């Protein structure tokens, strides 16, 4: 596996692979790789001949007061993990490489942003101003650097996944977006680099997010048609954790990401929660198909 630190080197490797007739997959990550990321990598290895994993803690998707400075970084550990998986390239650019004009005193950058409108109005987007603009901008740049045919993302970041699908459709990126189901610990907690911030007591309570989205699924499958009823089921489950500070529990249409009031038979919805344990913010969600109306 090659470790590539510059856009030029990455593009050259992608061009060489394509000239040799290979198809290319990209797994974009923030690094500090865990089992959830490895599921994305394994999927990428089945999707294309040449697999690049990018490791880049992207400053533009973190808001003021968020954990950009503290976000776990383990470049050497990530390199060893990816080499063992038979990945072809690890692209780990510096911030200066990805945002070359960020420190230009006369005209500091970036000046060009990529933004998907409307889909960031609810869920995480309502609380993390500018977050998805940072994600769509860096993912566009990673696509130009790594030139993939296929890009693999976790469905755990459900809003990001829906936004990125719309990004490639609207901007005619010739990249297929593949979504991989959430990887969970044995007690249901979704794997996340942020889980390592939790103290033992918080860690014990954290599976409540999974219990909440499971309660939402059960309510929907059981024929609940009022979004309020589904939200109530999630809130009841979350109430079992004394230290859970709920940021949101919402049900939205899975394509428009706009809140729903009544669940329509056949509709695909997304039930999602975001919860703080102390300073640590965790998310979880489920995509669910509303069952046909009962006669
Ligand atoms: O999901 C993530 O880890 C990040 O948002 C991504 C897609 C790598 C962009 O920085």
Residue 102 is predicted with a pLDDT of 81
Residue 295's pLDDT band (cuts 50, 70, 90):
low
Tens digit of each residue's pLDDT (9 = 90 or more) over 129-181 = 999 999 999 999 999 999 999 999 999 999 999 999 999 999 999 999 999 99
CB within 6 Å of ligand 1 — which residues?
28-30, 58, 61, 135, 138-139, 157, 160
Tens digit of each residue's pLDDT (9 = 90 or more) over 18-35 = 999 999 999 999 999 999
Ligand 1: which atom is nearest the Cα of residue 28? Answer: 8
Ligand 1: which atom is nearest the Cα of residue 135? Answer: 9
Tens digit of each residue's pLDDT (9 = 90 or more) over 169-180 = 999 999 999 999
Distance from the Cα of residue 187 to its chain's centroid:
21
**Own/partner long-range contacts of 236-241 (Cβ < 8 Å, ≥24 apart):** 237/208, 237/211, 237/212, 238/208, 238/209, 238/212, 238/273, 238/275, 240/208, 240/211, 241/205, 241/206, 241/208, 241/275, 241/277
Say which DSSP state 255 is in.
Answer: T
Q: Active-site residue among 34, 37, 50, 122? A: 37
SS (H, E, C) 11-73: HHHHHHHHHCCCCEEEEEECCCCCHHHHHHHHHHHHHCCEEEEEECCCHHHCCCCCCCCCCCC
Nearest CA to ligand 1 atom 9: 135
Residue 106's pLDDT band (cuts 50, 70, 90):
confident
Q: Is the pLDDT of residue 74 over 70?
A: yes
- Domains located in the chain, CATH noted: 2-180 (3.40.50.620), 193-287 (3.30.1300.10)
For a ligand 1 pocket test, name from 36, 57, 61 the mutation site with the most ligand atoms within 8 angstroms of its C-beta.
Answer: 61
Tens digit of each residue's pLDDT (9 = 90 or more) over 242-257 = 999 999 999 999 999 9
Q: Is the pLDDT of residue 58 over 70?
A: yes
For a ligand 1 pocket test, name from 38, 114, 125, 135 the mutation site with the most ligand atoms within 8 angstroms of its C-beta.
Answer: 135
**Span from the CA of 206 to the centroid of ligand 1 (angstroms):** 22
Residue 122 annotated in active site: no
For a ligand 1 pocket test, name from 26, 27, 29, 34 the mutation site with the most ligand atoms within 8 angstroms of its C-beta.
Answer: 29
Q: 106 vs 248, which has greater pLDDT?
A: 248
pTM of the model: 0.96
Residue 24 is predicted with a pLDDT of 99
Residues 6+ apart with CB under 8 A from 39: 154, 180, 181, 183
Q: 261 vs 293, which has greater pLDDT?
A: 261
């Amino acid at each position: 596996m090659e470790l590539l630190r510059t856009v030029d080197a990455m593009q050259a490797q992608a061009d060489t692979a394509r000239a040799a007739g290979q198809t290319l997959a990209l797994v974009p990550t923030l690094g500090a790789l865990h089992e959830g990321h490895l599921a994305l990598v394994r999927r990428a290895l089945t999707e294309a001949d040449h697999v690049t994993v990018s490791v880049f803690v992207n400053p533009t998707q973190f808001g003021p007061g968020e954990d950009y400075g503290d976000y776990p970084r383990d470049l050497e550990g990530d390199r060893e993990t990816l080499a063992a998986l038979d990945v072809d390239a690890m692209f780990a650019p510096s911030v200066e490489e990805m945002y070359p004009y960020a420190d230009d005193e006369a005209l500091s950058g970036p000046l060009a942003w990529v933004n998907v409108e409307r889909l960031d109005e609810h869920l995480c987007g309502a609380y993390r101003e500018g977050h998805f603009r940072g994600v769509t901008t860096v993912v566009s740049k990673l696509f130009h650097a790594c030139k993939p045919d296929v890009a693999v993302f976790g469905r755990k970041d459900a809003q990001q996944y829906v936004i990125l699908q719309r990004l490639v459709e609207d901007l005619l990126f010739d990249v297929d977006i593949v979504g991989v189901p959430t990887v969970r610990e044995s007690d249901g907690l979704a794997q996340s680099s942020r889980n390592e911030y939790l103290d033992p007591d918080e860690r014990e309570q954290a599976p409540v997010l999974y219990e909440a989205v499971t309660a939402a699924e059960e309510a929907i499958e059981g024929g609940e048609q009022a979004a309020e009823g589904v939200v109530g089921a999630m809130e009841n489950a979350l109430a079992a954790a004394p230290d859970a500070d709920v940021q949101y529990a919402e049900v939205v249409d899975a394509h428009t990401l706009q809140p729903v009031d009544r669940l329509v038979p056949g509709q695909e919805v997304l039930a999602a929660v975001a919860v703080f344990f102390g300073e640590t913010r965790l998310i979880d969600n489920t995509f669910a198909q509303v069952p046909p109306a009962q006669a």
